[in-house]
Chain A
């Protein structure tokens, strides 16, 4: 059985060749807009409410388990909402709608790619993750392998992904907020960084979870209301909506069929592959599985999360398609009133203009506030995952070898959260006006080539050894970072070379395949005593993974 799953995983790898993975929504150069009072007022309501929750959560956060996993006392439904909150970023709302607005059907293909990982995470990963882990994904990676080396390496993998992702979010936050709220870029980045520090440092996972839940409800509620308002303008008829869209778009009927975006089958396949396994390797997503009391609730949370994410993606498709005729024909939304010219605020703004067109200034203010809240929630989840890698993995387990007291570990984790907050602000400001799309490629490249292989192999393959995992991870890290540097986004667009040495923007398939191959090769040739002990320890791990025997239960007080 184990073998057949390994074969399945390997088969999936062979099925595609190169991963090309693009995060939706890099926000291109935007200029500051007038200060938007209603948006700021609504955002302040959100901030006050979440700070209240943080205060309440701080009172409940006494142990490391409280801090990292909210004491394991989150229900499946709540966690489902929170996972959806972690996954649906502002870039998803803006990027997917803008993709449909410009490219029509191709946007839908993207949405499907972003979605499809979730059922697979449930079927193959979620319950084993819950049964084996305690606080971080490194718990599972290093379950029966060398605690020092593998845990350190897994923690570095987590931190790398967190940092890349954090920079992307901070730069996006600065640009979006200066556009929607009329705040200075640096002010916006600093506000986001400080609020994130406060949530995470004082409220830990409890506060972060509730910020995610509220944000997910706001985003879903806002999106669905906007969709209903919009559909009412088309007499509740999709037919009507699409007829108008085809009339208004320069691509005409071509809007309705797959276009050039996926024309290269290798990059189409790789896009999907990178997203699938990159999602499964994101540390802040994996961490959410430890907040529920058992495997039963872990499964339920994926069911709810998948439903909310799927629903949200479908809503964004309708919004994008509706924006084609509503925004695309209204001179008020184009610079200089030139219909078909440059959209005011840049290419990611269709959904915002649509909101203004059908819902007026108040609704626009609301959705802007939701976008801000969304960014805050995502960066908080990232910071928490980063802080736990530093304090739980590196400090408590590797440096202190498990002898640190709960107080010491909590102190370190809070210092780490503050440190990450400061780093996020500094990096956010340093990367101002940079094209950060390559960082998305890096984050998903490292997640799929460093975190994912060691995670899946440690759960499914008895033969995995420390030597294999370590060198496989290094191979994945070096190749994913190296190939992104040689890719068109960095080699051509940033370094100004004529042609890219590596033709695809996203490295996952080469780097991920390499990581799996090196891990396999150096594991099967590892004849050391340690390798034998590690293989012998698989039995206990296997039974725990399958039955939850000895798994961390709820830490409720």
Chain B
């Protein structure tokens, strides 16, 4: 079977559209979950630094800025785990099905 035939088959397979749609939406959603808080954080540390001066508890000297920054790092990492988990499971299964059906 020719290469372009396989491409046409993949393209016409509704599972391909499903795969691309789901994965793209997922990737954009996760990117926004990382970027929106991150850029808000960057703007606020620049324009409203006093917002980060509150203490984590009464009598503590630690400001909320420290756990917030740590949280951005930790959540960023956890989200990579969320993405890999779904991509290596659901998305890869769909991809395999699409490829298998195209080669039939």
Contact = CB atoms under 8 A, between A and B. Distances in A.
Where chain B touches its partner, the secondary structure class is helix
A301 to B, nearest CB: 10
A16 B20 CA distance: 29
A108 B66 CA distance: 8
Given A109-B69, A540-B7, A238 B62 contact: yes
B52 A8 contact: no
A289 B95 CA distance: 20
Interface in B52-99: 52-53, 60-63, 65-66, 69-70, 72-74, 76-77, 79-81, 83-84, 87-88, 92, 95, 98-99
A170 B98 CA distance: 49
Given A242-B62, A306-B77, A120 B35 contact: yes
B76 A310 contact: yes
B98 A547 contact: yes
Interface string B21-44: 101110110111011001101110
Contact of B34 (A120, A258, A269, A302): A120
A257 B41 contact: no
Nearest to B33: A119
Interface in A307-325: 307, 310, 313-314, 317
A244 B5 CA distance: 70
A264 to B, nearest CB: 7
A258 B46 contact: yes
Given A256-B63, A257-B53, A268 B28 contact: no
Contacts of B25: 1
Contact of B7 (A295, A299, A539): A539
Contacts of A123: 27-28, 30-31, 34, 83
Nearest to B47: A265
A112 B80 contact: no
A39 B62 CA distance: 36
Contacts, number: 169
Interface residues of A, number: 59
Nearest to B20: A546
A482 interface: no
Nearest to A266: B46
A48 interface: no
A299 B80 CA distance: 9
Contacts of B42: 109, 113, 262, 268-269, 272
Given A4-B24, A268-B46, A547-B10, A112 B38 contact: yes
Interface in A251-273: 253, 256-259, 262-265, 268-269, 272
Nearest to A241: B62
B45 A302 contact: no
B66 A299 contact: no
Interface string A150-181: 00000000000000000000000000000000
Contacts of B11: 539, 543
A105 interface: yes
Interface in A231-287: 238-239, 242-243, 246, 253, 256-259, 262-265, 268-269, 272
A15 B39 contact: yes
A549 B6 contact: yes
Interface string A98-123: 00000001001101110110111011
A303 B45 contact: no
B61 to A, nearest CB: 5
Nearest to A243: B61
B63 A105 contact: yes
B101 to A, nearest CB: 11
Contact of B43 (A116, A119, A269, A299): A269
A292 to B, nearest CB: 13
A496 to B, nearest CB: 30
A122 B85 CA distance: 12
Nearest to A107: B69
A295 B35 CA distance: 24
Given A119-B34, A242-B62, A272-B39, A306 B80 contact: yes
A497 interface: no
A265 B40 CA distance: 11
Contacts of A313: 73
B45 A268 contact: yes
A262 B73 CA distance: 19
A118, A119, A238, A548: most-surrounded residue (chain B CB, <10 A) = A119
Nearest to A108: B69
A471 B25 CA distance: 32
B28 to A, nearest CB: 6
Nearest to B57: A239
A296 interface: yes
A127 interface: yes
Contacts of A108: 65-66, 69
A30 interface: no
Contacts of B83: 119, 122-123, 299
Nearest to B75: A119
25 contacts: A12-B35, A16-B39, A109-B45, A113-B42, A115-B72, A116-B35, A122-B83, A122-B84, A123-B34, A123-B83, A124-B27, A239-B60, A258-B52, A259-B49, A262-B45, A262-B49, A272-B42, A306-B80, A310-B73, A540-B7, A543-B7, A543-B16, A546-B19, A546-B95, A549-B6
- 4 nearest A-B pairs in the assembled complex, by CB-CB distance: A258-B49, A258-B45, A265-B46, A268-B46
Interface of B: 3-4, 6-7, 10-11, 16, 19-21, 23-25, 27-28, 30-32, 34-35, 38-39, 41-43, 45-47, 49-50, 52-53, 60-63, 65-66, 69-70, 72-74, 76-77, 79-81, 83-84, 87-88, 92, 95, 98-99, 102
Given A296-B92, A307-B80, 11 more contacts: A1-B24, A5-B27, A8-B32, A120-B35, A238-B62, A256-B62, A268-B46, A302-B84, A306-B77, A543-B11, A549-B102
